[in-house]
Structure 1
Amino acid sequence: MIRIALRICVIGGLLGLLLGCSPLKVLNAFTPGGTFSKASDLKYGDDPRNRLDVYTPINLTADAPVVVFFYGGSWNSGSRSDYSFVGEALAARGIVAVLADYRLYPQVHYQGFLEDSASAVGWTREHIRQYGGDPGRLYVMGHSAGGYNAAMLALDPKWLAAVGMKPSMLSGWIGLAGPYDFLPIENPEVKPVFYFPNSPPDSQPINHVSALSPPALLIAAKDDTLVNPERNTGGMARLLRGQGVPVRELYFSKPGHGTLIAAFSRPMRGLAPVLDEVVAFIHSRDQTLVY
């Protein structure tokens, strides 16, 4: 009866977007623990929010590719603990997953969360070998606001330069329903984060695309009503292609903005093959990946 109730909560809560229970926590309740080992609460900076968790696949035979994941939440909410299902999903497919917290508004505005995101990637490159990861096969991935963070690290060299890195050190980046072109800002929760009405054009990922940008996988919900998929995912894909950058662009009809990331979880994978596409993208960049 408990499992039935949880399943009802998952389907009803996620598809209805938060009906009576916490959908992310419920998804974590369905996440098995036998596919990974977890190193928790690792410090990558001085702020209490500068912490990350590393999910390492069980029984690795060689250093694995690495994905640093940033969650969404309009840059004013979120916790890595809510996304254990993402860490498990990647680890179960032979990928080391790094889930990082970062400072949020009102503690910081743009640019603070990007500074933290870059620091998390710098820490990962320096330390990930001791957790089974190959720093030479490093990807950044994010959903919604986290997709923005990943895009900015991959496209604007100044963020990774602060930690002694270049975007070319990334094997690729993965954006899930990311906002890449959102001026003028309409969302009232986001306006103060980016100093509206004086939001700097430099804050937009589309303004940093170049021929040197890393390869990208861009996925969106076809009917996303929060982040316009044609303007953001479609616009970013066109700019990347125009610069000769390899990009795979996908739109799924069943999930919405929030359930696109939920499709990583075991109960919700029937919504769309998001996890399969992420793993296939990494395969395409790294043919030595072994499961």
Structure 2
Amino acid sequence: MKYFLLFTLTLLLTGAIHAQSDKVAREKYSWTLGYKPDELITFYTPKPDMDLKLHVFYPEGHKRSNETPCIVFYFGGGWSGGSPDQFYGISKYLASRGMVAISAQYRTKKQKAIPRDCVEDGREAIRYVREHATEIGVDPERIAAGGGSAGGHVAAAVGMCPQIDVHPNSKVSSIPDALVLFNPVYHNGPEGYGHSRVTDYWREISPYHNIREGLPPTIVFFGSDDHCIKLPLIQAFQTDMEKAGNECVTHIYDKEKHGFFHISKGGRKIFEDVMNKVDGFLVEHKFLSGESEVEAWTAKAIEHYKAERGAKQKSKK
């Protein structure tokens, strides 16, 4: 019998145990769960003929006149590649709970971008949503940012690293009101991840090195076997956030690796556990209300995904 341990890092290391058998394969599905965004919105053109888009999921019955809480996600891929579809499934769930959920495009190494460009693009996504809140139907004071891996870094840096900003004199704030981070590479110092790619400006872009008072409330998820950021750095981040008076709750899943939170990697049970905690965090901070619906929603989403796949297979025959 294999166990994965969930630790919540506060001032001390505490936790709960969940069992999972090695003999039973994890129930895995595409991270899109077969869903596609309701709308694509161009939010930034950093270069001619290079339009970056928001992939937007709306709650059922959403109206532009609403002031709906919002979350903007950034995909992972080591700042080198990746796609907004990584957060389609998660966005669809949060839209079902009453948020406008967005998966944002940003430039990567494939577009000859450096990590600074990634963060600048991420910042412009938040700024655009806030500036156009009345057009999208969003509450400008309830905009969260989230992401996984390099996208987790982008989200953290948008919230914590104000020096990385292509429009530093803008009157529209690009600071999110909360952070939801999945295995973020938030330490870019010499002992952290990706230092060689940000050597000239690593102190400006490393969230860990920009911890200060007044940062957005933050929830973080890691696997203990993450190859990008090790436990001592995770614990140091948690401790320093608390010392600065910031709210930060870190969940560590024992024996899990990088990207474990995706239903396509860690499987259904871990996905549900992670999303229940995300849901609770967003309820606590007034982005959502009511009880989590993760398990019931996931069951329906899987039925939807299987039906979509079945229909595609029939159309090919």
How far is the alpha carbon of 1:122 from its aligned partner? 0.6
Equivalent position amino acid for 1:178 in 2:
P
Tell me if the contact between 2:185 and 2:229 (Cα under 8 Å) persists in the aligned partners: yes
1:50-199 equivalent positions in 2, closer than 5 A:
50-60=52-62, 62-105=66-109, 107-159=112-164, 162=168, 163-166=170-173, 170-184=176-190, 190=194, 193-195=197-199, 198=200
Taking the aligned partners of 2:58 and 2:290, their CA distance within structure 1 comes to 14
SS in 1 for 2:129: helix
1:40-55 equivalent positions in 2, closer than 5 A:
40-47=40-47, 48=50, 50-55=52-57
Which range is displaced more, 157-166 or 248-257? 157-166
Whichever structure has more helix as a proportion of its residues is 1
How far is the alpha carbon of 1:245 from its aligned partner? 0.8
Query: Who wins on radius of gyration, i.e. which is larger?
Result: 2
- Residues 6-64 of structure 1 show CA distances to partners (whole Å, capped at 9, x for unaligned) of xxxxx6896xxxxxxxx7xx332x3357xxx6112534334425222111111348532
Taking the aligned partners of 2:26 and 2:269, their CA distance within structure 1 comes to 15
Equivalent position amino acid for 1:148 in 2:
H
Aligned: 1:31 with 2:47: no
- The 3 A distance-change label for structure 1 pair 289 and 127 is farther
Report the TM-score when normalising by structure 1.
Answer: 0.77
Tell me if the contact between 2:195 and 2:202 (Cα under 8 Å) persists in the aligned partners: no
How far is the alpha carbon of 1:288 from its aligned partner? 6.6
Instruction: Tell me how large the CA RMSD over aligned residues is.
Output: 3.0
Q: What is the aligned length?
A: 259
How far is the alpha carbon of 1:255 from its aligned partner? 4.2
Taking the aligned partners of 2:237 and 2:192, their CA distance within structure 1 comes to 19
Tell me if the contact between 1:221 and 1:251 (Cα under 8 Å) persists in the aligned partners: yes
- The 3 A distance-change label for structure 1 pair 13 and 281 is closer
1:268-287 equivalent positions in 2, closer than 5 A:
268-272=267-271, 273-286=273-286
Report the TM-score when normalising by structure 2.
Answer: 0.71
- The 3 A distance-change label for structure 1 pair 289 and 130 is farther
- The 3 A distance-change label for structure 1 pair 219 and 40 is same
- The 3 A distance-change label for structure 1 pair 251 and 97 is same
Structure 1: state its 5+ residue gaps: 1-10, 15-22
1:239-258 equivalent positions in 2, closer than 5 A:
239-253=240-254, 255-258=256-259
Taking the aligned partners of 2:231 and 2:101, their CA distance within structure 1 comes to 26
- The 3 A distance-change label for structure 1 pair 89 and 254 is farther
Whichever structure has more strand as a proportion of its residues is 2
Equivalent position amino acid for 2:44 in 1:
Y
